[in-house]
Structure 1
Amino acid sequence: MSYILNIETATKNCSVALAKDGKTILCKEIAEEGYSHAERLHVFIEAIIEEAGIALQDLSAIAVSQGPGSYTGLRIGVSAAKGLCYALDIPLIAVDTLQALAAQVTISSGLIIPMIDARRMEVYSAIFSPSLEKKREVLAQIIDENSFEDRQETLYFIGDCAEKCKSILTKENHVFLEEIVYPSAKEMSALSFEKFKISDTVDVAYFEPYYLKDFMITAPKK
C-alpha cells in the first residue's frame, strides 16, 4: 500500500491530493486571482493528512507538478515538496503539468492540446494522444490563425487560454473544452503512481522546476 501526496501549484489553482495506490482519496484546492499558494498550501497538506487519519510518516513519496507555469507558484510547490522529502527521507516525483492537465480529458480519438497562459498571445502547450502519449514536446508559442494548421485530427484545447485563443483558433477541427481550466493534483495521482512503481524519481537536492523560459526580474519604475 502506497500513499503519495501530490502537489500542484503551477497555475492559479493551489491543489493538494492524497492518493492511495494511484487513486485519489482526498483533494483540497482553490483557484484565486491573487495566487494564495503560500498561505494555502501547508494548510491544505495538514488538513488532508488529518482527514485521512494517517501521519506524514505513512507517505511513500511526494509528487510535485514540475511545470511549465507560474515561476512563483512552481517555486512554492517545489520548495514544500523538497522540505517534506528531506524531513521524511522519501523520494520526490516530478509530474508534467501539461500531462496532468490533459488527463482531465476523456476522448477516444483526436488530440489533446493543454495550454497554460504565458502572457499576451503566448502559451505553454504540448500535444497528447487520448492515452496521454506525448505527440509534441512542450513549447512556448505565439498563437495565431496558422497555429496547429498541420494537424488534421480533431484538436481539443484546454487550459486557461480559451478566452484569448478561441477567436483565433477557429478551424472546424478546433474544439475548446472551456470547463477544463487548471491542472489539478487529482489527475497527478495515477501519473505519479506509475512513476513510483518504476522508481522514476528526481534528485531532491538538485531538482528544479521546468520554467521553460528564463525568469526575468525588472527594476521597479521610479
Structure 2
Amino acid sequence: MIICLETSTSVCSVALCDSKGVIDLRESSENKSHASLLTLFIDDLLTNAGVSVQDLESVVVSKGPGSYTGLRIGVSAAKGLAYAASVPLIGVETTLSMFYGITDNIRKKYGVDNKSLLIPMIDARRMEVYYSVYTSDGMKTKEISAEIIDENTFTDIPESVRILIFGDGAAKCRQVLKRKNIDFASEFRMSAAWMYKPAYESLGVRRFEDVAYFEPFYLKDFIATTPKGFTSGK
C-alpha cells in the first residue's frame, strides 16, 4: 500500500493505493488550500484504512514542475512522512502522472489511436506552459520544457497526427492553437489517483529518492512579483 500526494497545481489531492488501483481518495480544488488540507487528508485516509505510515510500502509525491508553493508543501510533507516512518520516497514527474489520467473514455471521445500524441500542459505565467509529449502508449518523445505558446507551436507535427492537449495550461492555448488535428480534453482533472501506476513501476525497480536531499523539480527559478498597487514607500 502506498500514499500519493499531488500538490503541483491548484488541486490538493491525496490517494491511498495498492498495486490494483485507488483504495480511497481525498481532494479539493479550493484555492490555496494545500497547506491547510494536505495533512488532514493524509490523516483521514490512514485512519479510515486502519493503517499507519509505517505500514506503507512508500510515500509518493508529485515532484514537478508546477506551482512553486504547492510543490514545496507537498514535497516537505512527503519527506517528513518518509523520514519519520523510515519508508522509501518516490517522486513522480507531474506530466507523467497526467498522462495516466487520460482514461479510456477520454481516449475514445477524441479518437486517440496508436499514432496520436498526448501533451500534458501545466500553467506557468502569461502564455508560458510546462509540457512534455507522449505517444499514446506512454513513450516520452519530448522532455519537459517551459515554452511560450503561439500559433506556430506544434507546426512541426504533421496534420495527419492527432494531438490531444490537457491540463490547466491547455485552456489559455485554445484560442491560439486552432489546427484541425488539435483537440483539448477539457474534462481532464488533476488527481493523485493517476500516480499509482508510475509509482508502482518505480517501487518494482526500487527507484527511490534520497529523502535528505530530494528537492522539487521546479524547472525554472522562482520569480517574485510585486502585487498591483503595492509601493515600496521610497
Shorter-chain TM-score: which interval? over 0.9
Contact 1:91 1:201 in 2 (8 A): yes
- Following superposition of structure 1 onto structure 2, how do residues 94-133 of structure 1 map, counting pairs within 5 Å? 94-105=91-102, 106=104, 107=107, 108-109=113-114, 110-133=116-139
After superposition, give the CA deviation of every residue in 1:124-144 in whole Å (9 maximum; x if it has no partner): 010011122211000100000
The structure with the larger Rg is 2
- 1:208 is the counterpart of 2:215: yes
Q: 1:164-193 CA distances to partner (integer Å, 9 max, x unpaired)?
A: 1111111011010111143x1101011101
Query: How far off its partner does 1:21 sit?
Result: 2.1
> Residue 47 of structure 2 corresponds to which residue in structure 1?
50
Task: Show the counterpart of 1:190.
Answer: 197
Q: Distance in 1 between matches of 2:214 and 2:20?
A: 23
Q: Distance in 1 between matches of 2:193 and 2:88?
A: 19
Aligned residue in 1 for 2:231: 221
Partner secondary structure for residue 66 of structure 1 = strand
TM norm structure 1: 0.94
Moved more, 47-56 or 101-110: 101-110
Distance in 1 between the 2:215 and 2:231 partners?
30
- Residue type matched to 2:42 in 1? I
* Alignment partner of 1:92 out of 89, 92, 96: 89
What SS does the corresponding residue of 1:160 show, helix, strand or coil? coil
Q: Deviations over 1:170-217 (max 9, x none)?
A: 1011010111143x1101011101100100111001111010100123
RMSD of aligned Cα (Å): 1.3
Structural mapping, 1:21-100, within 5 Å = 21-32=19-30, 34-100=31-97
Corresponding residue of 2:153? 147
More displaced 10-residue stretch of structure 1: 159-168 or 73-82? 159-168
For residues 62 and 130 of structure 1, the distance between their equivalents in structure 2, rounded to whole angstroms, comes to 28
Distance 1:52 1:24 in 2: 12
1:169 maps onto 2:167 in alignment:
no
Return closer, same or farther for 1:22/1:72 CA change in 2, 3 Å cut-off. farther
Give the share of equivalent positions with the same residue, in percent: 45
Residue type matched to 1:31 in 2?
S
Q: Is the 8 A contact 1:102 1:158 kept in 2?
A: no
After superposition, the Cα gap between the structure-2 partners of 1:149 and 1:181, relative to the gap in structure 1 and judged at 3 Å, is: farther
Equivalents in 1 of 2:75, 2:29: separation in Å? 18
Rounded to whole Å, the distance in 2 between the matches of 1:89 and 1:163 is: 41
Instruction: Give a deviation string over 1:14-66, Cα, whole Å, max 9, x none.
Output: 0000111252111111112x211000000000000111122222111101001
What are structure 2's unaligned runs of at least 5 residues? 108-112
Q: Is the 8 A contact 1:9 1:73 kept in 2?
A: yes
What TM-score do you get using the length of structure 2 for normalisation? 0.90
> How many correspondences in the alignment?
218
The Cα offsets for residues 83-140 of structure 1, whole Å up to 9 and x where unpaired, read as 0011000110010101111111144330100101101100001001112221100010
Residue identity in the other structure for 2:176:
I
Q: Which amino acid aligns with 2:163?
A: L
Residue 187 of structure 2 is aligned to residue 179 of structure 1 = yes
